[in-house]
Amino acid sequence: MTVPVQSLLFADPREAADLAAFLGRLLHYDRAAAVRLQAGGGDALAVFGRPPSFEVLAIRAARLARPETLDVTVSAGELLESLSLDTAGEEPGERGGVLPAPVTGPPWTGVLPPRGPWREQAGLPRPDAMRAALDAAVAEFRTRDEALPEELRTRAERERIGREIWSRPVGATELPLRA
């Protein structure tokens, strides 16, 4: 019988801080955000989240101090609150948090990217061209945002501009730029 994981212990102090930053960004867009945590018996933890208006799945990986097997959806806010970012009295590298109680997550938590087999997508630009396309998209968003009159500089208008830019196809594929 396997004992359920009660806490997360990260391999490096920076892992908890990076995960906290990721959770903070998700919570900025959705105070009720949920995240799905998966660890397949090794020392890698995958944390999946979905900002509400971006139609993308955000993924953050973290190294654990010990192998774990875990697949649970929890409150992003509760997980963030549980993370120990203060090292007083801890051994070097021991940072972690109590695993919050599972929640019934949003529908996206049941549909995650496959673990394999991955295959190359024909028509993708070379990495340098992809970076240039991403840089151009960010620059275009900033330019269009700065050009908005103050009364139109709303979250809804910014999301509309972002959806327009990030929905464009990448190279000769059907993948959106946001992918």
Contact residues for 25 (Cβ-Cβ < 8 A; gap 6+) = 51
Domain ranges of the chain: 7-110, 120-179
Contact 34, 103 (CB under 8 A): yes
CB neighbour class for 54 (10 Å; exposed up to 12, middle 13-18, buried from 19)? middle
Question: Which CATH number among 1.20.120, 2.30.30, 3.10.150, 1.10.10 corresponds to the domain 7-110?
Answer: 3.10.150
> What are the angstrom distances between the C-alpha of 31 and each of 36, 48, 51, 52, 102?
16, 16, 10, 10, 17
Residue 40 in contact with residue 69, Cβ under 8 Å?
yes
Q: For residue 138, what pLDDT is reported?
A: 93
Apex 86 CA angle, 85 and 91, nearest 5: 105
Q: What is the pLDDT of residue 5?
A: 60
pLDDT per residue as tens, the chain (179 positions): 344 568 889 998 889 999 999 999 999 888 999 999 999 888 999 999 998 776 778 899 999 999 999 899 999 999 999 986 554 444 443 478 889 999 987 888 887 777 667 777 889 999 999 999 999 999 999 999 999 999 999 988 998 999 899 999 998 998 888 87
User: Residue 108 corresponds to which tokens in the numbers above?
Assistant: 């996206």
In SS3 terms, 143-171 reads as: HHHHHCCHHHCCHHHHHHHHHHHHCCECC
Cross-strand pairs, 169: 176
pLDDT at residue 128, as a whole number: 93
**What is the pTM assigned to this prediction?**
0.68
